[in-house]
Amino acid sequence: MRESVQAEVLMSFLVSEELSFRIPVELRYETGDPYAVRMTFHLPGDAPVTWAFGRELLLDGINAPSGDGDVHIAPTGHEPLSDVHIRLRVGDDSALFRAGAPPLVAFLDRTDKLVPLGQELALGDFELSLEEALGRILAEENAG
């Protein structure tokens, strides 16, 4: 059985209203952490930066503004499958990215085939996997 799903999408990093550039972003989903997706942003001249957040947040944000914390995702228009804004915040700093909805939907569809939404607890040893995932996330935060 596959244990992960990966995809690479191009997103626009919106530096200001006048300046943006396209960057590759790796999307990753693992059965060991079935509620989360990870996005690794490859910014020019910097080390890759990985953010982990709820898979359901990404799904919800494609259709309507979503997110109460450091991650906010919202469609840019009213038509179905319009582009999506992804805003990431750390303290007072934030970064804004724009992505096409179709590659995100395709990625989420692949994660749903691996672990259907709502079936995450059926994976058995999720509690142990959650402890390990939290340990990795805390180690990544402390290292970066």
Q: Fill in the amino acid letter for 64.
A: A
Residue with more model confidence, 94 or 131: 94
Q: Looking at the predicted structure, is the pLDDT value of residue 58 above 80?
A: yes
Q: Looking at the predicted structure, is the pLDDT value of residue 46 above 90?
A: no
Q: What is the pTM of this model?
A: 0.81
Mean of per-residue pLDDT scores for the chain:
88
User: Which residue in this structure is represented by tokens 């503004």?
Assistant: 65
Task: pLDDT band for 133, please (50, 70, 90 cuts).
Answer: low
- List the one residue out of 34, 39, 42 whose CA is nearest residue 4: 34
What is the rounded average pLDDT of the residues 87-98? 94
Q: Looking at the predicted structure, is the pLDDT value of residue 89 above 80?
A: yes
Helix (H, G, I), strand (E, B) or coil at 80: coil
CB atoms within 10 A of CB 17: 6
Each residue of 95-125: b (16+ CB within 10 Å) or e?
Answer: bbbebebebbeebbeebbeebeeeebeeeee
